[in-house]
Amino acid sequence: MITTTLSAPGAEIHYEVRGTGPALILIHGGAGDAAMFGPAAELLCDRYTVVTYDRRGNSRSHLTEPAEEQRVVEHSEDVRLLLNAIEVESAYIFGGHTGAVIGLDLLARHPAQVTKLVAHEPPVLELLPDAERLRAQIQEVRDICRRDGTEQAIRKLAAVIRVPGPPPNHPSLPAPVREMLARIEGNVEYSLLHELRPFTSFSPGVEALRGAALTLAGGTEGRDTLPYLATTALADVLGTSLVEFPGDHVSYARYPAEFADILTGLLAT
């Protein structure tokens, strides 16, 4: 595995490259980092040049300017910089949760650079019938984070979107997992204050996505969560259906072998 960085406007992006073959970029969701894809990437790198990275402001991808509310377009431009860095014109892309939002934006604006996108549970809450109420609740989560701290805010967010927060770090866990969870703990406040609202209020370019090289996906254990329901709403608008992975919104971390097999099949079709 090659580990390096690239300079982007306002950030230094940490990224990792494994294997050979067609390029596959894996984009993690909020408060995560590249290590969440580690086991799956090792299984995929005999077929693909697998690129994993920490999104700007998370873990090892440090901001070079003061933190402010993030824009989805900045994150999708980071993916374009990654494509330049590995010297390819287009790539397969898998995005999970907010990573899927980034993939949708890139596909809508620069379809020639996306060979195929698998978007797993993008939280496009604006497509849900109670979007106005959800916007108010997301703002409440941010207010709680500022007033009472991340622990209270995560509990509120979990109740709103029905997705649990990151698991506790425990000494019994393998060392790489403990290291990753320690980094992720440092991402939570940034994610709640600067990423949560713009990513959940993102409106996908539906017309640009019609007929695009796109597969929408969800986890079998998350059918009652808002990200799954929002993805279903997007599928309805586009006249398509969802493919399911085992597990929840982080199936790639919980079931890497099954994830790698299903993803390989999807990218081959």
The answer to whether residue 42 scores a pLDDT higher than 80 is: yes
Q: Is the dihedral of CA 116, 98, 217, 38 positive or negative?
A: positive
**pLDDT at residue 178, rounded to an integer:** 78
* pLDDT single digits (tens) 223-240: 999 999 999 999 999 999
Judge whether 166 lies within some domain.
Answer: no
Compare 267 and 186 and report the one with higher pLDDT: 267
Judge whether 137 lies within some domain.
Answer: no
* pLDDT single digits (tens) 11-33: 999 999 999 999 999 999 989 99
**pLDDT at residue 60, rounded to an integer:** 97
Judge whether 184 lies within some domain.
Answer: no
Quote the number of domains for the chain: 1
The answer to whether residue 174 scores a pLDDT higher than 70 is: no
The answer to whether residue 156 scores a pLDDT higher than 80 is: yes
Q: Mean pLDDT, to the nearest integer, of 145-164?
A: 94
Judge whether 167 lies within some domain.
Answer: no
**Contact indicator for 55, 75 with CB cutoff of 8 Å:** yes
CATH assignment at residue 64: 3.40.50.1820
As a whole number of angstroms, the distance between CA 95 and CA 216 comes to 10
Judge whether 233 lies within some domain.
Answer: yes
Q: Residue 82: pLDDT band by 50, 70, 90 thresholds? A: very high
The answer to whether residue 263 scores a pLDDT higher than 70 is: yes
Structure tokens at 213: 């090289």
As a whole number of angstroms, the distance between CA 188 and CA 144 comes to 13
Burial per residue of 73-111, b for 16 or more beta-carbon CB atoms within 10 angstroms, e otherwise: ebbbbbbeebbebeebebbbbbbbbbbbbbbbbbbbeeb
**Contact indicator for 160, 227 with CB cutoff of 8 Å:** no
Burial per residue of 152-173, b for 16 or more beta-carbon CB atoms within 10 angstroms, e otherwise: ebbebbeebbebeebeeeeeee
Structure tokens at 116: 């195929």
DSSP conformation class of 247: S
Judge whether 244 lies within some domain.
Answer: yes
* pLDDT single digits (tens) 180-211: 888 888 899 999 999 999 999 999 989 999 99
Residue numbers of the domain that contains 23? 2-125+203-268
Judge whether 55 lies within some domain.
Answer: yes
Judge whether 193 lies within some domain.
Answer: no
